[in-house]
Amino acid sequence: MSVTDRLSRQVDFLLEIDRLKGVLRQTLLTDGSRRENSAEHSWHVAIFAAVLLEHAARPDLDLLRVIKMLLIHDVVEIDAGDTFVYDEAAHADKAERERRAADRLFGLLPPDQARELRELWDEYEARATPEARYAAALDRLQPILHNLRTQGTVWRKHGIRSSQVLARNRHMVEGSPALWEYAQARIREAVERGYLEE
């Protein structure tokens, strides 16, 4: 592959992933003004990774690897859409929709980069390493904090109960026992304030 062809494929990928800015999540911005998009979410949790590293189950993990995972973990939503974490019906075919999206999107890149990013995405999805488990914990912590800051608007809108939040997020402990303990305290706080049903 010529340098020109390689650069052309890289630019095609970079322009294609701009579409992630148009994928809206259920989570509101912390000021409650609008729904967050998936690109904003990816940026935000990548910052979480750097700031909260000392709380990871293994603080000696590869931070650059974690940040790369978090920056690409939701790229598949360009094709697959964002699946609301508490929508059980939508989860039925989520893995297949996202796998097809990963094939297409990462396939836009030159083969070596396609392989690298796809492997990172697969690692994240499987929570196969300490890096992936830490990244997944941060991905779950961020919407809990947003829900608390916005007085549980999304939780209340969808009738979400604290048992659902605890069940869906308990894997956080694998990536960071400290952050899972913190999240549980925030969930209890949300119940006490009436932002989340018991």
pLDDT for 151: 97
- Give the chain's radius of gyration (CA, Å): 17
What pTM, to 2 d.p., does this model score?
0.95
Measured CA to CA, the distance from residue 197 to residue 37 in angstroms comes to: 26
Measured CA to CA, the distance from residue 159 to residue 138 in angstroms comes to: 24
pLDDT for 88: 86
Least confident range of 7-16, 79-88, 126-135, 158-167: 79-88
Q: Where are the alpha helices (DSSP H) in the chain?
A: 3-16, 38-51, 63-72, 77-80, 88-91, 94-106, 111-126, 130-149, 153-157, 162-169, 172-175, 177-192
| Domains of the chain (ranges, CATH numbers) | 3-192 (1.10.3210.10)
